[in-house]
Structure 1
Amino acid sequence: MKNSHTPIELFKKWFSEEEKLSKLSVPTAVCLSTIGLDGFPNSRFVSLKEIVKDSFIITTPLDSRKGAEIENNNKVALTFWWTETQRQIRIQGIATKIDKELAQKYFEERNLESQIVSLICQQGKEIDDIKILEKEIIQMSLTNPKIEMPKNWGGYSIEPIRIEFMEFRKTRFHDRKLYEMENNKWTLKQLQP
């Protein structure tokens, strides 16, 4: 099956079309799925930072649950659902840590509150009294400091091996196209709805 777009070009086209119509405050939200340390799948929403060299970039504390799961098994999935254009994109790929310079760039782009939370909080860890953390965050934000990137903060570059594009139709006869990386080239297959 022939198509004039690479999957990355098609992703960018679809993303641009959704972004123009979307009323969402976070149109870059994507569901990241990992294989849990207990063997169960684990999913959560993260923010897509950008696409670099045809790979999808996300950031996170590296010692968070998702960081530990990716370290254990770097096969991950991303799922986008775009309401305005009624489109879904599913990506399977291999996650590798981004370099420190790129992590630093993304950290500096975060607002002060997000930087402070990244510095003070241990994402996903249990706590007895959340008010203690709230006070620390408020206290630090009042001093308006320049926050250094925490040592545990970084991100991942997800190199896709499969990308499925689906356009929903009221008839339920959805248009589904699957790109797969085979021998360093993208192949394209039309899938049944």
Structure 2
Amino acid sequence: MEPIEIFKRWFNEELKLSKARIPTAVCLSTVGIDNFPNARFVSFKEIFDNSFIITGPLNSRKGIEIENNDKVALTFWWTETERQIRIQGVATKISEGLAEKYFKERNVNSQAVSSICEQGNEIDNVEQLEKRVLEKVLEKSKITRPQNWSGFSIKPTRIEFMEFKKTRFHDRKLYEIVKGEWNIKQIQP
């Protein structure tokens, strides 16, 4: 079975059991502009064209780091099924059409925050910023996607699946692209 199909099956199994408020959370790791690794949780949107989609501001730290070095990693940890999936791949900016689609799917509070806030920048008055966001929400008008809000398509080059076992003899399989084809290896726990 292809690794993308395994991912989809595992993801759906976890979603059916998950009690997490945000079951689509995934850890995105980038190489910082200072060459230190940088990790944060983002929301996984879907698999599109055999790539993993995440969204957010292009001028945020993650956006700047991906622009500087397109090699990224995603790590999924699923509590209910006791599985982990590690993905390494290359990130590219998604199309304007996809960015519009994902922005429209966001709730109004998320749209308002994205249209007003400059993610990761320092702020002196958080209450004033919160007031501006609330005013935007209360306007009840359509919120336009900011030009700096988009997303990334992460084309995997490696995917590792790990199923945890009570014996600690975890089952680990590593899929890697070799000469354009997925190659599978069983690796030690």
Q: TM-score, normalised by structure 1?
A: 0.97
**Does residue 35 of structure 1 match 2:36?**
no
Percent identity for Structure 1 against Structure 2: 67
1:138 positional shift: 1.3
Structure-1 separation of matches of 2:180 and 2:169: 31
In the alignment, does 2:123 pair up with 1:139?
Answer: no
In 1, the alpha carbon distance for the partners of 2:28 and 2:136 equals 31
Which blocks of at least 5 consecutive residues in structure 1 are unaligned?
none
Is 1:188 paired with 2:180? no
CA-based RMSD of the aligned residues comes to 0.5
- Compute the displacement of 1:44 (Å): 0.3
Give the distance between the partners of 2:126 and 2:18, measured in 1 at CA. 34
- Take 1:65 and 1:22, find their aligned partners in 2: how far apart are those partners? 30
Q: Name which of 121, 125, 135 aligns with 2:121.
A: 125
Tell me, yes or no, if structure 1 residue 112 matches structure 2 residue 108: yes
CA distance, structure 2, for counterparts of residue 11 and residue 169 of structure 1? 19
Q: Which residue pairs with 1:9 in the alignment?
A: 5
Partner of 2:46 in structure 1? 50
SS of the residue 1:48 aligns to: strand
**How far off is 1:157 after superposition?**
0.1
Q: How is 1:152-163 mapped onto 2 (pairs within 5 angstroms)?
A: 152-163=148-159
Q: Following the alignment from structure 1 to structure 2, what is the Cα–Cα distance between the partners of residues 143 and 54?
A: 39
Cα distance in 1 for residues equivalent to 2:10 and 2:135: 42
Separation of aligned partners in 2, 1:167 and 1:93: 21
Identify which of 60, 65, 68 aligns with 1:64.
60
Any idea what SS the aligned residue of 1:88 has? strand
What is aligned with 1:91? 87
Q: What stretches of structure 2 of length at least 5 have no aligned partner?
A: none
For residues 80 and 53 of structure 1, the distance between their equivalents in structure 2, rounded to whole angstroms, comes to: 19
Find 1:24's aligned residue among 20, 23, 36: 20
